[in-house]
């Protein structure tokens, strides 16, 4: 069984039990550090993993009676042996709970949801500079606004109102394509560069898009800051 070690929000591993014992003996892993492995519901102190297994401490080096030597400072935590876990690096997602995004969207009649949509797209551009969701949103949102303006300006002219409806429909399709583009970029990044095994539902993307994305971005942010999965 392999174990991951977490300290101050940074993860290391995986290590076998024997390696954990050795790093504890070397002082690179502390008994107060947190450990986690498959099948465990939560992180626990390393001392709980080791239990009653004796940890052989290295003998202290003799102090040479030679004054004026350059002092040797202790190594930083974990020394050079442990390696950071993939999935704990990279930019943090936008920091706003999905329920607040929903609430602010309702209060502002959807305006805030459109604003947050562009914030999410900007974050995705940091992950994948070649992502086109920002461009698609930039076409879709103004297109919907334009379509409604044409509808209202058409008055009783059915042909003008029909044109406005077509513009709204076309812009809505572009917006949906943008949602799925953002979804694909998130899945691609969080399953390759940062392998967090992110799986996003197509149905949820179609109906709830921005709120649904923020729900997943929230747990990704929490995991990257605390080392604890939801």
In a domain, 27, yes or no: yes
Residue 70 included in any domain: yes
Classify residue 81: in a domain, yes or no. Answer: yes
Indicate whether 73 and 143 sit together in one domain.
no
Enclosing domain of residue 12? 1-85
What was the pLDDT predicted at 6?
83
Residue 201 lies in a domain: yes
pLDDT (tens digit, 9 = 90+) per residue, 78-127?
444 444 444 456 799 999 999 999 999 999 999 999 999 999 999 999 99
Output 210 or 53, whichever has higher pLDDT: 210
Asked if residue 216 is part of any domain, the answer here is: yes
Weakest mean pLDDT among 4-18, 82-96, 174-188, 199-213: 82-96
Q: Name the pTM for this structure.
A: 0.63
Task: Say yes or no: 109 and 167 in one domain.
Answer: yes
Cα–Cα distances (Å) from 61 to 21, 58, 68, 202, in that order, read: 20, 9, 18, 61
User: CA 109, 102, 140, 118 torsion: positive or negative?
Assistant: positive
**What does the pLDDT read at residue 202?**
96
117 and 79 within one domain: no
Residue 84 DSSP symbol = B
Between 71 and 138, the more confident residue is 138
The stretch 46-52 carries a mean pLDDT of 80
Angle between helix axes 133-154 and 158-189 (nearest 10 degrees) is: 160
- The pLDDT of residue 1 is 77
pLDDT recorded at residue 44:
86
The predicted model gives 18-23 an average pLDDT of 85
Q: What number is the average pLDDT over the span 40-48?
A: 83
Judge contact between 205 and 183, C-beta under 8 A.
Answer: yes
């Amino acid at each position: 069984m392999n174990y991951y070690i977490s300290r101050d929000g940074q993860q290391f591993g995986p290590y076998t039990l024997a390696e954990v014992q050795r790093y504890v003996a070397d002082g690179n892993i502390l008994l107060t550090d947190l450990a986690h492995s498959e099948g465990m519901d939560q992180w626990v102190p390393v001392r709980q993993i080791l239990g009653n297994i004796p940890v052989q401490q290295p003998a202290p080096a003799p102090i040479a009676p030679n004054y004026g030597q350059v002092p040797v400072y202790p190594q930083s935590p974990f020394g050079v042996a442990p390696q950071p876990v993939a999935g704990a690096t990279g930019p943090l997602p936008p920091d706003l709970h999905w329920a607040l995004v929903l609430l602010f969207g309702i209060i502002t009649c959807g305006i805030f949801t459109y604003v947050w949509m562009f914030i999410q797209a900007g974050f995705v551009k940091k992950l994948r500079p070649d992502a086109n969701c920002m461009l698609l949103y930039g076409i879709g949102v103004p297109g919907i606004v334009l379509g409604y303006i044409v509808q209202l300006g058409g008055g009783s002219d059915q042909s003008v109102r029909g044109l406005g409806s077509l513009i709204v429909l076309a812009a809505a399709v572009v917006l949906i394509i943008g949602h799925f583009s953002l979804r694909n970029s998130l899945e691609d990044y969080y399953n390759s560069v940062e392998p967090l095994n992110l799986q996003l539902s197509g149905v949820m993307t179609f109906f709830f898009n921005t709120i649904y994305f923020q729900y997943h971005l929230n747990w990704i942010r929490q995991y990257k800051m605390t080392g604890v999965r939801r």
